[in-house]
Amino acid sequence: MRLDDRLVLITGASSGIGAATARAMADAQARLLLTGRNRAALDAVAAETGGRAIAADLPAGATALASEAGPVDVLVANAGAGWAGAFATMPERTIDDLLAVDLAAPMRLTRLLLPGMVARGRGHLVFVASIAGVVGVPGEAVYSAAKAGLIAFAEALRAETAVGVSVVLPGVVDTPFFDRRGAPYERSRPVPVPAARVARAIVGAVERERAEVYVPGWLEAPARLRGAAPGVFRRLAALLGGV
């Protein structure tokens, strides 16, 4: 799909990967609808990229957002939340919150926007998942489960509709995500990649109709190993302290 003059809706656009994607889409001459919870930050990104800011709290505000957005050509479902710690100590309310933002919100927004894409005979859905959804990450059990669900959801959609569907699977990205989840990233490896690198992968996924994109690319190797030889993967992951 050519992105020039296409209407692109980006969720979680006020910072991190979402803000970087807004800049990359603007460079590709797309028209932008940007949504997020932080109105001041969202307005700043909109002013920088020439986009239109629509503050929304997802998934509760999905219907109102879709109605105000109108006929969207590309959805980048990027908004996400995390929580770090042992699952046994995780507050029950936090389980519901993560599943709502990371899984239910993209599903509901897709259900609202997809029929219009199908009727117009064009459109593209991009789901920003995570390597955690493929391999599972200790201390992030619910986040991993939500992203795994998002990956399966995308795979099912890809098989039942002619609309383009892409999943982008980043590893560790240098964004405020880790501070917001309550635990900073303190490992020496893997080294966090810039959000702009993920944004370029998102743009490329749409332009080239790519089904899956790992960022960085080497993450595809442990993902494939996890599927082909799970026992070997678990032993290596234990030795290396996880992916």
* Contact of 78 with 10, CB cutoff 8 Å: yes
Strands 52-55 and 74-77, by their bridges, are: unpaired
How far is the C-alpha of 71 from the C-alpha of 200, rounded, in Å?
Answer: 24
**Positive or negative torsion for Cα 70, 73, 122, 65:** negative
Of 179, 147, 199, 176, residue with least CA distance to 18: 199
CA separation, residue 33 to residues 41, 127, 187, 195 (Å) = 14, 16, 35, 19
- Residues forming the active site: 143
